[in-house]
Structure 1
């Protein structure tokens, strides 16, 4: 696939390529989440006892159906929604993307305790009115507590400063789809939004690193090249060593023979964010295709949903939507919503001024993504 436009001038071919990568990133992350959902929290022995010697190889029932997604995908969708809303609000001069993302995450938090959407709240936009999202799907405690009040965590005063989990990283792929941004700004935004729930450097720097990896792939780089860029950017960040060590270990593990579950578990270690990211990068590097990479990413004793989503986002950004297993996509919960949001994101990033500039605002677009 060709590299997408980074200059703000988009030809038709570049728009099509970008939309394919956006769709691929969001769909593959959701598929990885859904693939891992039935075995999340189980150790490798339990997975093999339930699914055979090769572990889980196909979508299996979780949360009452095959292809069910978890809070990982829910939060990823609200991340995309927040980024679109931030771009729309930019015209007003009141532009602070972390605040718009925080508002989006608070809209997700409402779905975790309300029975369904409040149709009177037009300012919430269309995504918050999707009834299927009003279902609690194993949200991490850090996400619930971090978004339990209106105070926004910041780098100076983060929420949950001891939280090292991978959930913030797993929702951060969409930051990497800001292909017109410089990678250091992508890293910064992902970090500032991660600390709204996960305040430990290992967690928020893993989120920033993942966004930089997706950013490089969406711009046409190789995964190895994107890792090198992430390592360079992380080097200036306090507390980066566990994350940079994890990425280096992922690169080194590629040369250690045939991929297997034991090597994935070794990379994951204690299951903190940097280990799960390391394993996801390894699986994306060694996977023969998307299906193989995702199977490797979910068969272990750590967070299978987070690892599946992280690996899926990388493979989707690298290969685009046409590389994804059609059988898995057919059963994916919320696929229509993911596609609609992906296409809206691609349209906003390539044609935003035509949708909401003072000279030609679209009422329909502003109803979907209100400035309020």
Structure 2
């Protein structure tokens, strides 16, 4: 599959009963490490971290918030030709949040699934602390099944054969706005629907499809906090994507994004982040497309001021490696968070996903205070995103909560 197609409201109304047959399972692709060295790249201009090597809360909140803001910026112009965008919004393209059919500043499935990724990682980590063991892959799978339920699939058909609960749990299930259908990607929807029927999880060696759509990378940023070890962060980020996207270019960009955010929120520069992600990418079979896409972004960033036409030479962003490439290019080609977001969405392709990935990067680079205040004020679910960012910092901080309220908020699995 070339990329992630979006499911319309009509598609979802038909698909909600979960009755269609699943795609054929393909032969597995075995991922093996290789020993290679990262390449050097040019630096950008980060906000200074007060404590190098530790997570800067300003950068971390900036990563999640800017990702959501850019998701909302790009949603109204997703897959629209740049000439049409300019005709409607002016020669500079879209320059701010604009109303859609149900309001302004509306997030898409990109931010929805990022929140469920975050919830999964907190639940798995908290269970590890409480019980001594957990299965982070299964916790993430169940979190995505809860997201599937928010998209109209009855829980008994979404939960999978191992889960016998009558209703889905966790605090995100109490956020009504998360039950909005925002044209979810077909690959995610069908892969999760398949798990609801069979209980088979996608892994690096058990493939569900051959998709390298951008639906894996756009939700992976929370993996940045999983560990102090970049190799572990990369693997967790890639794992979250491999649950639904089985092509290496579908899951390796997710690992790369997680490592880049991991580096940036700890005070690193874009040069540091790119070097760190390359060091991990080269250890995996199938990295060539993602590596080449990053090389193209770095090269293009040195060729003058950014334009939508230049962005278009990197691809449409509908597949994992080009979504990451466009995001990295926008970050490298600008010296301002908000300018980077606008570069990342003003093009012919998958604007909300390229924006979301770019926002995760530049938010982690410049911090939350750099985000345009009027955009933040209009952002849907801002309070929920901020709460999840705070909870991630708490769980993965030096003194994670141990009270009963935390166990209720983040229960087992």
TM surpasses 0.5: yes
Contact kept? 2:52, 2:267, Cα under 8 Å:
no
Deviation sequence 1:133-188 (CA, Å, 0-9, x none): 0011010001101111232211111232x21211110101111133x421111111
Alignment of 1:278-317 (within 5 A): 278-317=325-364
Mapped contact 1:4–1:218 kept (Cα < 8 A): no
> Size of the alignment, in residue pairs?
352
2:228 matched residue in structure 1:
181
- Cα distance in structure 2, aligned partners of 1:133 and 1:271: 23
Task: Select which of 199, 206, 216 maps to 1:168.
Answer: 216
Determine the structure 1 residue equivalent to 2:148. 109
| Residue 211 (structure 2) pairs with residue 130 (structure 1) | no
Given that 1:294 and 1:311 are in contact with CA atoms closer than 8 Å, whether structure 2 keeps it comes out as yes
Supply the distance in 1 between the matched residues of 2:94 and 2:212 (Cα, whole angstroms).
Answer: 26
Of 353, 360, 363, the residue aligned with 2:404 is: 363
Deviation at 1:232, TM superposition (A): 2.0
193, 198, 203: which one aligns with 1:154:
203
User: 1:318-366 CA deviation, whole Å, 9 max, x = no partner?
Assistant: 121111111000000000111111111111111454x22xxxxx01111
Q: How far did 1:279 drift?
A: 0.9
- Give me the whole-angstrom Cα distance separating, in 2, the residues matched to 1:318 and 1:19: 12
Match of 1:248 in 2: 295
Cross-structure match for 1:18: 56
Superposition RMSD on alpha carbons, in Å? Answer: 1.9
**Structure 1 residues 121 and 302, CA, compared in 2 at 3 Å: closer, same or farther?**
same
TM-score w.r.t. structure 2 length?
0.81
Q: Is this contact kept in 2: 1:3–1:219, CA < 8 A?
A: no
What is the CA–CA distance in structure 2 between the aligned matches of 1:73 and 1:143, rounded to whole Å? Answer: 14
Seen in structure 2, the aligned counterparts of structure 1 residues 300 and 336 have a Cα distance that, compared at 3 Å, is same
Match of 1:200 in 2: 247
Larger helix percent? 1
Q: Matched residue of 1:267: which SS? A: coil
Q: Which moved more, 1:326-335 or 1:180-189?
A: 180-189
Give the alignment's TM-score, normalised by structure 1. Answer: 0.90
Q: Is the 8 A contact 1:284 1:315 kept in 2?
A: yes
Kept after mapping to 2: 8 A contact 1:28/1:313 = yes
Q: Which residue of 2 aligns with 1:359?
A: none
Matched, 1:328 2:375: yes
Alignment equivalent of 1:37, drawn from 75, 78, 83: 75
Shift of 1:122: 7.5
Question: Where does residue 64 of structure 1 map in the other structure?
Answer: 102
1:293 alignment partner, SS class: helix
Indicate the SS of the match to 2:56. Answer: helix
- For the 8 Å contact 1:250–1:267, the answer to whether it is kept is yes
Whether the aligned pair in 1 keeps the contact of 2:302 and 2:333 (CA below 8 Å) is no
Match of 2:276 in 1: 229
Q: Distance in 2 between matches of 1:132 and 1:249?
A: 38
Cα 1:352–1:84, aligned 2, differ >3 Å: closer, same or farther?
farther
> Which range moved further: 180-189 or 22-31?
180-189
- Structure 1 stretches (4+) deviating beyond 6 angstroms? 120-123
